[in-house]
Amino acid sequence: MGLAGRLSALTRDALLRRLSRLARRAAARALWATAWWGLGAWAPSPCAQERPAIPEDTLVTLRAQQVLVPFTVTDRLNRPVTELAADDVKLFEDNIEQEIVALRRAPSLPVTVVIALDCSGSMARRLPLAKRATLAFLERLLRLPQDRAALIACQQDLLLAQPLTGELAAFRQSLATLDERLPTPLGRVSPFEPAKAAPPGTALYAAIYAAIDLLATGGGEDGRRRIVVVVSDGFDSEGIIRAGEVIERAWRSGASIYALGIGQPDLTAADASQTVNRTELERLCASTGGQAFFPRLDREFFTAFDQIDTDLRQCFVLAYTPTSESAAFRAIRIEVPRHPDWKTRHRAGYYANPSE
């Protein structure tokens, strides 16, 4: 049975149980700095290497060493900042400043991206353009041998239209044949007419949740960015998963969410808020270190994807050793005090023990 058939047969609780195991294992790997994350090896100091042996009868408590935080910085004109030193940046965990032990640019981090493409009735007219822009984005994105991408199509049911791959040709084929493989044949009754067919709804949050889980299957390397790109009007009609659960799963697994919020092409700016759920899309993205875009013109689709690609390739990664021993959620804030008009984007926080 395909992914769509399996997911459509699950209750909300069963879906949560089914999606939990892989993401929990990946989150533990993604949040702690046994990873490289393209930063190079952080060798222990000579003093650390010469510590005396610990007596066998000593109780030893092992704690996480370092937390890694990818982030981007833009200036007041929304241009990416490409040069920062560690003393330019301040990091706060639960409002307490932490010592940054390493910071560097990471333009060549491998990337794993899952596209969550809304194929519901409200997207029918813009789906062809969305598919072309998605393909153009992937042509730029899949530039490193380690880069991977996948596609989940979203209606009431979910379709894993393309498993994780680094092969652009496979993605071209998947997008070309997507319409005929959808659970509800959108392409054959588009635009929808009530007399002919009822448009399919959208299990959008379940699709994003599944996309985050799919990121966890993309290999054991922690030295990569994990991204979900949502192409949708932002409305969820099925209620299988709540938006807050999506954000929590992203925090636990170290994933960032980007979104292209799109509605019907013939609407005026005054009524766009009625057809694009801006508030929820911006909340999903801001909480996880991503960014939401709301293209209206055709060319703005391609521009938005270009900005996401630039964002991924202009990121920094910092490392710090937390002073807190709390096992609860820890909020993160990054500032550049010398440039108060600069903006930073990063995840809102993390769980010290992602499996709990």
- Of 157, 165, 273, 145, whose CA–CA distance to 204 is shortest? 157
Residue type, 288: T
Cα distance between residue 184 and residue 198, in whole Å: 10
Torsion of CA 69, 307, 146, 212, to 10 degrees: 60
Distance of CA 341 to the CA centre of its chain: 26
Give the model's pLDDT for residue 224.
80
Check residue 65 and give its pLDDT: 64
Any idea what DSSP says for residue 340? T
Name 152's bridge partners.
Answer: 116, 160
What pTM was computed for the model? 0.76
330, β-bridge pairs: 350
Annotation: CATH topology of 3-28+109-313:
Rossmann fold (3.40.50)
Q: Is 299 exposed, middle or buried (0-12, 13-18, 19+ CB in 10 A)?
A: exposed
Residue 207 host element (H or E): helix 204-215
Q: Could you give the CA distance from residue 191 to residue 180 in angstroms, rounded to a whole number? A: 15
Q: In what order do the strands lie in the sheet with 148-154?
A: 158-165, 148-154, 111-118, 225-232, 256-261, 292-293
From 133, 129, 180, select the one nearest 153 (Cα to Cα).
180
- The domain locations on the chain are 3-28+109-313, 63-107+315-351
What DSSP element (H or E) covers 131? helix 127-141
Question: What residues contact residue 227 under an 8 Å CB cut-off, 6+ apart?
Answer: 111, 112, 113, 114, 215, 255, 256, 257, 258, 290, 308, 312
Residue type, 133: A
**pLDDT string in tens for the chain (356-residue length):** 444 444 444 444 444 444 444 333 333 333 333 333 443 433 333 333 343 443 444 333 334 568 889 999 999 998 889 899 888 999 999 999 999 999 988 877 889 999 999 988 778 788 899 999 999 999 988 988 889 999 999 988 899 999 999 999 999 999 999 988 887 765 443 444 444 444 457 899 999 999 999 997 754 445 688 999 999 999 998 888 999 999 999 998 889 999 999 876 555 545 555 588 999 999 999 999 999 999 988 899 899 999 999 888 888 999 999 988 776 889 999 999 999 999 999 999 988 776 65
Q: Which of 256, 252, 254 is nearest to 355 (CA)?
A: 252
| DSSP notation for 242-311 | -HHHHHHHHHHHT-EEEEEE---TT--GGGGGGTS-HHHHHHHHHHHT--EE---SHHHHHHHHHHHHHH
